C-alpha cells in the first residue's frame, strides 16, 4: 500500500496518518522569489527539522505543541507497513526520512501568521520609511534600517494560498480569530520570541524577526509547523550587525544574491544554481543550527547523508 502526500508545498510534504496524526517531511528544496529552484540544498530539510525540534523542546513549558516524535522507528510504527511516495510517485526511503520528518498531532490552524518583529527590517523598514509606522503602530522618529525596536511587536499577516501573505492590523486579526484567541496568540508568540532572542544573544546571534504558526489541539492553543528556523526567521551575526544597513543572515541569502546578479526576471524556470552557491548555502544552514543551538549538526540523525 502506498500513501501520497495530502499537501506538497515549496519545502514540505505532509502525509495524513488516520484522523489525528500527520507526518511532515521537510525536503531540501529551496525557493527564492516564490520560485522553487531545480537544485536541492544538502541537509537543509534536516536543519529545519532539527531546529524546530530544539525550540519545541525549549518551549514545552510555555505552550503545548504538535510534535510527537522525530524518530524513524515511530514513523514506521505509525505507517504500519504503508510506503510513502512523493508527489511524483517516487518512494521515500528510510534513509531519506531519517532526521527530516516529524510525526505530529493534527491541529486546527489559525488563519493568521503570528509574526514577531524585534528589529526594523524588510517590509517593516519599508513601511516605516514611508509612514513612520510598523503594521499601523506609530514608532519614534529617526529610526534607521535594522534598528532595534523599543519593544518587540506582534505583527500578524494573512495566510495566502498563492503569492505573498499580506500584513494585517491587530484589529483585522481580531476580526479573523476573535479577541481572546488573538490575545492568546500574541502572548505565546511574544514570550517565545523573547525567550529565544535572549538565548540566541548569548551565542552571538540576533533574531531580528520570526514567524510562528499556532493551532488548536484538544482545545489548547499550540505551537505548530516550523519554529525559529532560517526559513522562518532572520538570524543576524551580532559581530556583523550595524545600524543603517542590512546585516548578513543565516539563510538563503547566497541564493537570492546570485539570482539577482543574473538579471533573472523571477518567473519560472529559474537559472541553474552554481555548485559554489549550493555549497555555501548549505553551510550557512548548518552553521545556523550549530550556533543557535550550541550543538554539532553532525550528531543529528542522517546529517550529511
- Is residue 163 pLDDT above 70, yes or no? no
Determine the Cα–Cα distance for residues 188 and 194; give it in Å rounded to an integer: 10
Residues composing the chain: 305
Lowest mean pLDDT segment, chosen from 65-74, 207-216, 243-252: 243-252
- CA distance between the termini of the chain: 27
- Is residue 234 pLDDT above 80, yes or no? yes
Of 246 and 299, the one with more pLDDT = 299
Nearest CA among 78, 74, 76 for reference residue 53: 74
CATH class of 108-240: alpha beta
Lowest mean pLDDT segment, chosen from 11-15, 119-123, 247-251, 278-282: 247-251
The reported pLDDT for the residue numbered 253 is: 84
Question: What proportion of the chain, given as a percentage, has pLDDT over 70?
Answer: 98
The reported pLDDT for the residue numbered 187 is: 98
The reported pLDDT for the residue numbered 206 is: 97
Cα 32 to Cα 49, 91, 166, 251, 260, distances in angstroms: 20, 27, 18, 11, 10
Condensed to tens digits (0 to 9), the pLDDT of residues 182-207 reads 999 999 999 999 999 999 999 999 99
Nearest CA among 156, 167, 153 for reference residue 120: 153
* Per-domain boundaries in the chain: 108-240
- Average confidence (pLDDT) over 292-296: 95
Q: What is the DSSP string of 114-162?
A: EEEEEE--HHHHHHHHHHSEETTEE--TT--TTPEEEEEEE--EE--SS
The predicted model scores a pTM of 0.95
- Average confidence (pLDDT) over 4-33: 95
Confidence of residue 136 (pLDDT cuts 50, 70, 90): confident
The reported pLDDT for the residue numbered 164 is: 66
The reported pLDDT for the residue numbered 305 is: 84
- Average confidence (pLDDT) over 3-12: 94
Cβ neighbours of residue 23 closer than 8 Å, sequence gap 6 or more: 14, 15, 17, 75, 78, 79, 84, 101, 102, 103, 104
- Average confidence (pLDDT) over 228-242: 95
Burial of 299 (0-12, 13-18, 19+ CB in 10 A): exposed
Cell of 45: 530539510
Confidence of residue 135 (pLDDT cuts 50, 70, 90): confident
- Is residue 162 pLDDT above 80, yes or no? no
Amino acid at each position: 500500500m502506498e500513501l501520497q502526500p495530502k499537501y506538497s508545498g515549496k519545502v514540505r510534504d505532509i502525509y495524513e496518518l488516520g484522523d489525528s496524526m500527520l507526518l511532515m517531511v521537510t525536503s531540501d528544496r529551496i525557493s527564492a522569489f516564490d520560485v522553487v529552484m531545480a537544485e536541492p540544498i544538502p541537509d537543509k530539510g534536516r536543519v529545519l527539522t532539527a531546529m524546530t525540534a530544539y525550540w519545541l523542546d525549549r518551549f514545552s513549558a510555555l505552550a503545548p505543541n504538535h510534535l510527537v516524535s522525530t524518530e524513524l522507528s515511530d514513523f514506521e510504527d505509525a505507517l504500519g507497513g504503508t510506503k510513502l511516495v512523493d508527489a511524483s510517485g517516487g518512494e521515500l526511503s528510510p534513509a531519506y526520512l531519517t532526521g527530516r520528518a516529524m510525526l505530529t498531532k493534527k491541529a486546527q490552524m489559525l488563519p493568521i501568521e503570528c509574526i514577531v518583529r524585534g528589529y526594523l527590517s524588510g517590509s517593516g523598514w519599508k513601511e516605516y520609511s514611508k509612514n513612520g509606522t510598523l503594521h499601523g503602530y506609530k514608532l519614534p522618529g529617526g529610526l534607521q534600517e535594522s534598528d532595534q525596536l523599543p519593544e518587540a511587536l506582534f505583527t500578524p499577516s494573512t495566510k495566502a494560498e498563492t503569492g505573498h501573505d499580506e500584513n494585517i492590523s491587530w484589529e483585522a486579526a481580531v476580526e479573523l480569530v476573535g479577541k481572546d484567541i488573538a490575545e492568546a496568540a500574541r502572548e505565546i508568540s511574544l514570550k517565545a520570541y523573547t525567550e529565544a532572542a535572549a538565548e540566541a544573544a548569548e551565542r552571538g546571534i540576533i533574531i531580528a524577526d520570526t514567524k510562528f504558526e499556532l493551532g488548536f489541539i484538544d482545545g489548547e492553543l499550540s505551537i505548530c509547523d516550523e519554529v525559529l528556523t532560517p526559513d522562518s526567521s532572520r538570524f543576524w551575526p551580532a559581530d556583523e550587525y550595524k545600524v543603517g544597513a542590512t546585516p548578513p543572515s543565516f539563510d538563503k541569502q547566497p541564493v537570492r544574491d546570485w539570482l539577482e546578479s543574473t538579471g533573472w526576471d523571477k518567473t519560472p524556470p529559474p537559472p541553474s544554481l552554481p555548485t559554489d552557491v549550493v555549497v555555501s548555502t548549505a553551510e550557512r544552514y548548518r552553521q545556523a543550527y550549530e550556533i543557535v543551538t550550541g550543538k554539532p549538526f553532525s550528531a543529528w540523525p542522517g546529517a550529511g547523508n
